[in-house]
Structure 1
Amino acid sequence: MKILFLGDVMGRAGRRALVENLPRLREEWRLDFVVVNGENATGGMGLSGAHAKLLLEAGADCLTLGDHAFDQKDMLQFIETEPRVLRPLNYAKGAPGLGHRVFQDRRGRKVLVTQVLGQVFMKRAFDDPFSAVDQVLRAHPLGGAVQAVLVDIHCEATSEKMGMGHFCDGRASVVVGSHTHVPTADAQILPGGTAFQSDAGMCGDYNSVIGMEKSEPMRRFVTGMPKARFTPALEEATLSGLYVETDDKTGRATRLRMIRLGGRLEQAGP
């Protein structure tokens, strides 16, 4: 199975890059399943229902959210009607929507997707991500109930992301980090066959401060005082993500490659 994960879509620039490129990539790379983190797609803060529809129509099979899951208030209702949008598994008891779901690719193969929020350096205390993921993976054994498993670990600390990768090794096809908007250079297949990267990076304008127009973040760093709201940068975006090929019988990764398409970080595709 050929799986593509694209990191946090950041504002208008990220949406535009995805809409303009994903349909072509699905065909040229013969992708079987595409997961996109969309939690910053609407003005850099959350995901609206309209923008969720846009990303799904462009070719995403599943959208994951994050700690900004419900910054756009219409997502509280939209997520109940659109099962292809997943909120974090350990977000809050009683939160609308689902934290994991089994999908089918175009050939009928079953793909489990789940997202979990980390705890280290996060602004609020979320439930234990490891026990939450463990429960889901036990119920959906790789190579048995499902042919592939993707875990999006959304958090600040690279150590926590690495811990999740090793915790899931052999039980997930892919464990990939999101949230920091900065791609890491540690893409690898772990000993048990799980493809791992600490952070996929963002789909956004890298002439920025993690996707935001530079002047206001820089002012706050220098003076310690805010003057205006953060706004997403709008120059050409780079699509950042992780491409993984898996074995249908075992669900384990056989090949992977970091993706940087367009903008300032472009490199060759798979």
Structure 2
Amino acid sequence: MRVLFIGDVVGDKGVSMIETYLPKIKQDVKPQVTVVNGENATPVGRGISQSIYKRLMSYGVDVVTLGNHAWSNSEILDFIDDTNRLIRPYNFPKNVTPGKGYTLINVNGKQLAVLNFQGRVFMDNLDDPFSLANDLVNKLNKTTNCIFMDFHAEATSEKLAMARYLDGKVSAVVGTHTHVQTNDARILPQKTAFLTDVGMTGPADGMLGMQPDSVISRFLNQRPARFQVLETGRGILSGCVIDIDDKSGHATSIKTILYTDDQVID
């Protein structure tokens, strides 16, 4: 089983990069499941709308994951319960949060579980992702041993801790949120694939997708600044491709991919 995962889609540029490059990438790597993090996909870079969600699905995406900006566009409350292919972090408060934290995808008679969790270090103090992930994985193992997790977290230590905690129990733990692709893709000792951060998809010449001037000003004067998505310049698409043994659920390889409008790095 081959899974393509593409990192945090930011603004209109990010959505257009999916439209332009996803067909080409799928032709090259031939994934059976494509997962995209879409929590920054609106033009303002926070949240997702129903129209953008439908656009991403029409471009060939199978599952859209979210993160700490899941609720930044209130429109999501109108449609998240109506789809199984848009998932939010599982560890939001139970019973009072709309939507689902995982989904199951059929792949040639085998099921892939796609999970979404959010970290707590330097982020909102949600329910414990470690204990909840352990309980959910034990439940899902009765159905499938092919399990992919998007762990939306700030601290690199927390991302690696989650991967090591679940090593051998899930197929892959890939980090999102920090928008910069890391160079540490590897298979852990018990055959779980890990990457600290898959990177972002959006404006290549911004600062994490935002206009640089306002970000730099905040560092210079320490005053609040309104960050806006950069709308001009090159685009970037960041992702990874993971191969999973269908029988054991173990990852056999993980490879990063990085596209800009003027360069392909693989």
Interval containing the TM-score (normalised by the shorter chain): over 0.9
1:91-240 paired onto structure 2 within 5 Å: 91-93=92-94, 94-105=96-107, 107-122=108-123, 124-141=124-141, 145-226=143-224, 229-234=226-231, 235-240=233-238
Distance 2:190 2:177 in 1: 25
User: What are the Cα deviations for residues 155-211 of structure 1, in whole angstroms up to 9, with x where unaligned?
Assistant: 110000000010111111110000011111110000111110011010122311111
Asked if residue 25 in structure 1 is aligned to residue 25 in structure 2, the reply is yes
CA gap 1:77/1:219 in 2 versus in 1, 3 angstroms? same
User: What are the Cα deviations for residues 54-93 of structure 1, in whole angstroms up to 9, with x where unaligned?
Assistant: 1111111100000110111110121111110001001223
RMSD: 1.4
SS at match of 1:202: coil
Count, aligned residues: 263
Q: Contact 2:210–2:228 at 8 Å: present in 1 too? A: yes
Paired position in structure 2 for 1:4: 4
Distance 1:92 1:7 in 2: 25
Q: Contact 1:216–1:226 at 8 Å: present in 2 too? A: no
Q: Contact 1:22–1:58 at 8 Å: present in 2 too? A: yes
How far the C-alpha of 1:108 sits from its partner, in A, is 3.1
SS at match of 1:102: strand
CA gap 1:236/1:126 in 2 versus in 1, 3 angstroms? same
SS at match of 2:169: coil
CA gap 1:265/1:119 in 2 versus in 1, 3 angstroms? farther
1:40-119 paired onto structure 2 within 5 Å: 40-42=40-42, 43-93=44-94, 94-105=96-107, 107-119=108-120
Distance 1:264 1:239 in 2: 11
SS at match of 1:238: strand
SS at match of 1:162: helix
Q: Contact 2:145–2:170 at 8 Å: present in 1 too? A: no
Structure 2 residues not aligned, in runs of 5+: none
Q: Contact 2:204–2:260 at 8 Å: present in 1 too? A: no
How far the C-alpha of 1:264 sits from its partner, in A, is 7.1
Asked if residue 37 in structure 1 is aligned to residue 37 in structure 2, the reply is yes
- Residue 248 of structure 2 aligns with an amino acid whose one-letter code is T
SS at match of 2:227: coil
- Residue 79 of structure 1 aligns with an amino acid whose one-letter code is I
Moved over 4 A (4+): none
Q: Contact 1:219–1:226 at 8 Å: present in 2 too? A: no
